[in-house]
Amino acid sequence: MPWFNASDSRPAEGEPVLIHDGENNRMSAGRYVGGRWYAEDVRDGRLTEARGVTHWAPLLDSEAYDPEDD
């Protein structure tokens, strides 16, 4: 699975992705919406702003991810 530097590239608006929070060294499901990163609560789908996102990766079941592009 490719990881992208969050300062170099962004996923498509609203696309579900995996995000890495470098401040807390934590990974979670998230989205990039309106110029901001959001972590998604897996229990209820609620989004909360995520700070310190350093990297992101497409989810393997994401329709936007094509392994041929790697």
**Assigned CATH for 4-61:** 2.30.30
The pairing of beta strand 4-5 with beta strand 36-40: unpaired
Q: Are 44 and 50 in contact (CB under 8 A)?
A: no
CB 47 within 8 A of CB 6: no
Q: How far is CA 34 from CA 2, 43, 70, in A?
A: 23, 23, 26
38-54 tens-digit pLDDT: 999 888 989 999 989 99
Which residues of the chain, if any, have pLDDT below 70?
1, 61-70
Q: Where are the domains of the chain?
A: 4-61
The reported pTM is 0.77
Nearest in space to 12 (alpha carbons), one of 29, 34, 28, 27: 34
